[in-house]
Amino acid sequence: MTDPVMQSFGDRIWIADAAPVSVAGFHYPTRMVVIRLADGGVMAVSPVALTSKLRDAVAALGPVRHLIAPNALHHLFLGDWAEAFPEAKVHAAPGLRAKRKDIRFDADLGDAPDPDWAGDLEQVVVRGNLITEEVVFFHAPSRTVLFTDLLQQFPRGWHAGWRGVVARLDLMVGAEPAVPRKFRAGFVNRRAARQAVARILTWPADNVLLAHGAPVMSNGQAFLTGAFRWLMR
pLDDT value at residue 103: 96
d(CA 43, CA 3): 19
187: helix, strand or coil: strand
Helices (H), 61-170: 78-84, 96-99, 161-169
d(CA 5, CA 23): 23
pLDDT value at residue 224: 98
pLDDT value at residue 29: 76
pLDDT value at residue 70: 97
Residues of the chain with pLDDT under 50: none
